[in-house]
Structure 1
Amino acid sequence: MSVTQSSPSEVSLWKKAILPWIVCFSASLFFAYELLQLHVMNALSPMLIRDLGLNATQFGTLSSTYLLADVIFLLPAGILLDRFSVRKVILTALFLCVIGTLGFSRAHSFGFACVCHFFSGIGNAFCFLSCMMLISRWFPKEKQAFIVGLMITMGMLGGVVAQVPFSLLAQKFDWRQALFIDGLIGVAIFALIFSFVKDAPKGFLRAEEESAELPFWEGVKRSVLNIQNICCGLYTCFLNMPLMIISAVWGTLFLTQVHEIPLTNASFIVSMICMGTIVGSPIYGWVSDKIGKRRLPMLFGGLTSLIVMFAIILIPHPSEKMLTALFFALGFFTSSQVIGYPTITESNPKELTGTSMGIAALIIMGIAGVIQPLSGKLLDYSWSGAMQNGAPLYALKDFMTAFMIFPIGFVIALIALARIKEPQKASASLKT
């Protein structure tokens, strides 16, 4: 009886061409799952506000607990990923997220819901950083912007599922059953990551061990003092704001209350932000890698995002088709923020990849964590006191007041971009 053995060329093809994609694809499912937890708040907003008896400030606070956990754990996440097994860190973080999601499905009070959503946010602190770590280890620099774009595309699928599909699921059953099913999906993703994710190619292991020798505070200090990390964090934060605020929190409420669009249609329109990001992220990454420039496509994205946001706020009585196109365009143009991540990895030594990404992500999520409840405060501040079916009814002027944070944020992003230098490593790798 003969035993067929794989040839060395087949083994080499598996390790060099196929395995990196399987590893990073599996890890990106964690990213997609975390974005599902973030964006599901938008789809469930009318139900949660009604069943838990919340106003806009309380709902904004509930949503922001996810980002609060993110902010608290981001820097520790980067440090842990630099020093410990990426696979083990991912599995631990995903476990906490699943626990939070299942707990949320049984919440009957504002306080308990906040605690559970906080646990889900802990996982979010690790998901994107861990994906970036794996990409930086499994793929060459000249491909990283494109791969990051594809990974964000995968992640945005979670945001899309959180809109119309999840809204329909919650309407067919109820929001508690929908979140319970959400938790079971997390268990399945845990099994996939356990089976397929590996820390790094064998040749990288020695470099990983050497990186652990860098003193803790020295690594933090070097990452904080690198102005590239700060400015990339600011740019990415404000270009990411429509995803964090409109798509994740207020989009459905804005469309149903101001434009009187049915809930399912409103969820579909809001999902266009994620769809635009799905299309735009790999395109921006590919263009940036192709031309060997980071700043130029980032400038284009910032300027066009500003124009589209003004159109959404100021165009009177837009049709559903126009809103669908505008929300897609907003997601597409703001996806230029994807280029900020490879810019950070190219501007720091390998041993500080996780810590530097943690510093930048601290800015990205920290500011978003402040703006989410701030947007709710602005809504309540402008609110006339009108009620509908036992819940606050907000007018166009209320949302215009709250949504002015977006054009202001885009201007800040462009100012930060002016301080970002073109990474030399990016250009060098692209020329080879």
Structure 2
Amino acid sequence: MSAAPARPAPASRALAVWLGAMTAYVCAVAARTSLGVAGVEAMDRFSMSAGVLASFSTLQIGVYAAAQIPVGIALDRWGARRLLATGAVLVAVAQTGMALATGLPAALSARVLLGIGDATAFVSVLRLLPSWFSPFRIPLFTQLTSIIGLLGQVISAVPFVWVLHRAGWSAAFAIMAGLGLAAAMAVGALVRDAPAPEAAGDGAARARTREPVLLTVRRVLSSPWTWLGFFTHWSGAGPSTVFTLLWGVPFMTLGMGMTKAQASAVLVANTAAGIVLGPLVGQLTARHPRGRVPGVLGVAGAVAVAWSAVLAPAAPAPAWAAPVLVVVLAASGCASSIGFDFVRQGVEPHRLGTATGATNMGGFAAALLSVQLIGWLLDRGSADRAYAWPDFRLAMAVQALAWAVGVVGVAVSATLIRRRAGRVV
């Protein structure tokens, strides 16, 4: 049911629109992951425990997840260009707030604002794809969107960390704020919602102005396609988000005994693995749509095996285990994007923004649960904040709860679609 361009857009113009939108998404990812790589410095700057640090990311993820359906509704009515530009400005303001914050209330307020701005980026880029690219190319560009967005993680893991360690907290976050403003200008210059006004297509523009908001939400949330997308994203993006957003660097440095430079290199390896695996996943899902659900469940199984292998030994895992783990987590992140293929297939075009937002909630809801539980268990296991391998070993294992929910959700949703529509997905 996904919308397609009313007439083919020139490839160069479509790429320019997509790349302009991607600047906002890359900056949003860099801002989102900046606290994770600065987690140890944040605990020192604000004199806080691991549990309080977890509350930063929990709050940010919670705001991000809660904003997805409102953002999706706004996206269906006002278009991606407006939301992308507005979100990039909010990210810039939030990073400025982090640069100036000296106490917890100001820092928490900045992360709330960042969660709102960040919430507009990914779903807006995905909403542009049906207007600018053919249906066969959309799975590939969905994967490329996720992959190139990971460059934001490289920005936070390498140049941001370099500035943080040499120029300090305020300078590092101020530079990130400048990147957000640059992204807003790029969106204004390059991004358009469709090749031409009529290319919004097949009455969708008229429908989105008529349909009541509550009806849109009810129809989206009653569709098993939405829930299949949601739990696909939950099981795929949840594990990778927990690692890259907050607990990966502390786990590697405080738990495994790696240096900060080694931990940063592992995060870069995660991005590199995603760049290699993403296009492959996109091509496979386009050519073999019936393999999507088995593929999602297979990757979830690989995540369980990888984490079990890392956490099983009583002694800290060797340094080489971290790159192996993040390759599996990169595959998991790529698999999460299959959820957006499901909603494009089963949800009406004029509700696609709302359904995309609901799907995108999945991974961040899973991460919200896991991040907070990990922080709580770390504090419970080490009252003096001297976190070590036994503390991390127990705390990181709690991700098994979210994993089980995701696997069951995918299986149940796919079964409902088969029963209602008589279709194998």
Corresponding position of 2:298: 300
Kindly state the Cα deviation for residue 194 of structure 1 after the two structures are TM-superposed. Answer: 0.9
- The aligned amino acid for 2:98 is F
Q: Do 1:26 and 1:197's aligned partners in 2 also have CA atoms closer than 8 Å?
A: yes
Distance 1:40 1:306, change over 3 A: same
Kindly state the Cα deviation for residue 120 of structure 1 after the two structures are TM-superposed. Answer: 1.0
268-277 or 24-33, which deviates more? 268-277
Kindly state the Cα deviation for residue 128 of structure 1 after the two structures are TM-superposed. Answer: 1.1
User: Percent sequence identity over matched residues?
Assistant: 19
Kindly state the Cα deviation for residue 136 of structure 1 after the two structures are TM-superposed. Answer: 2.0
- Out of 40, 43, 50, the residue aligned to residue 37 of structure 2 is 43
Kindly state the Cα deviation for residue 376 of structure 1 after the two structures are TM-superposed. Answer: 0.8
Corresponding position of 1:263: 260
Listed one character per residue, the Cα deviations across residues 76-107 of structure 1 (whole Å, up to 9, x for unaligned) are: 10001001132112111211111011111000
Q: Do 2:375 and 2:395's aligned partners in 1 also have CA atoms closer than 8 Å?
A: yes
1:221-236 alignment, distance < 5 Å: 221-236=218-233
- Out of 311, 328, 332, the residue aligned to residue 313 of structure 1 is 311
Distance 1:276 1:81, change over 3 A: same
Q: Do 1:43 and 1:162's aligned partners in 2 also have CA atoms closer than 8 Å?
A: yes
Listed one character per residue, the Cα deviations across residues 229-252 of structure 1 (whole Å, up to 9, x for unaligned) are: 123212312321233211111111
- The aligned amino acid for 2:273 is G
- Out of 90, 96, 106, the residue aligned to residue 102 of structure 1 is 96
Corresponding position of 2:215: 218
1:128-147 alignment, distance < 5 Å: 128-147=122-141
Aligned pairs, number? 406
Distance 1:324 1:250, change over 3 A: same
1:23-172 alignment, distance < 5 Å: 23-172=17-166
Q: Residue 397 in 1 paired to residue 397 in 2? A: no
1:163-242 alignment, distance < 5 Å: 163-202=157-196, 203-205=198-200, 207-212=203-208, 213-242=210-239
Q: Distance in 1 between matches of 2:354 and 2:11?
A: 28
What are structure 2's unaligned runs of at least 5 residues? 1-6, 419-425
Distance 1:279 1:410, change over 3 A: farther
- Out of 233, 250, 254, the residue aligned to residue 251 of structure 2 is 254
Kindly state the Cα deviation for residue 286 of structure 1 after the two structures are TM-superposed. Answer: 1.2
Corresponding position of 1:430: none
Q: Do 2:157 and 2:267's aligned partners in 1 also have CA atoms closer than 8 Å?
A: yes
Q: Do 1:233 and 1:361's aligned partners in 2 also have CA atoms closer than 8 Å?
A: yes
Q: Distance in 1 between matches of 2:368 and 2:132?
A: 32
Q: Distance in 2 between matches of 1:329 and 1:220?
A: 34
Q: Do 1:149 and 1:281's aligned partners in 2 also have CA atoms closer than 8 Å?
A: yes
Q: Residue 244 in 1 paired to residue 241 in 2? A: yes
217-226 or 357-366, which deviates more? 357-366
SS in structure 1 of the partner of residue 403 of structure 2? helix
Distance 1:322 1:367, change over 3 A: closer
Corresponding position of 1:418: 411
Kindly state the Cα deviation for residue 368 of structure 1 after the two structures are TM-superposed. Answer: 2.6
- The aligned amino acid for 1:97 is V
Q: Distance in 2 between matches of 1:34 and 1:83?
A: 22
Kindly state the Cα deviation for residue 322 of structure 1 after the two structures are TM-superposed. Answer: 3.3
Q: Do 1:284 and 1:338's aligned partners in 2 also have CA atoms closer than 8 Å?
A: no
Structure with the greater alpha carbon radius of gyration: 1
Q: Do 2:28 and 2:121's aligned partners in 1 also have CA atoms closer than 8 Å?
A: yes
Stretches (4+) displaced over 4 A: none
- The aligned amino acid for 1:381 is R
Listed one character per residue, the Cα deviations across residues 17-51 of structure 1 (whole Å, up to 9, x for unaligned) are: 12111111211221111111121112101111011
Distance 1:343 1:351, change over 3 A: same
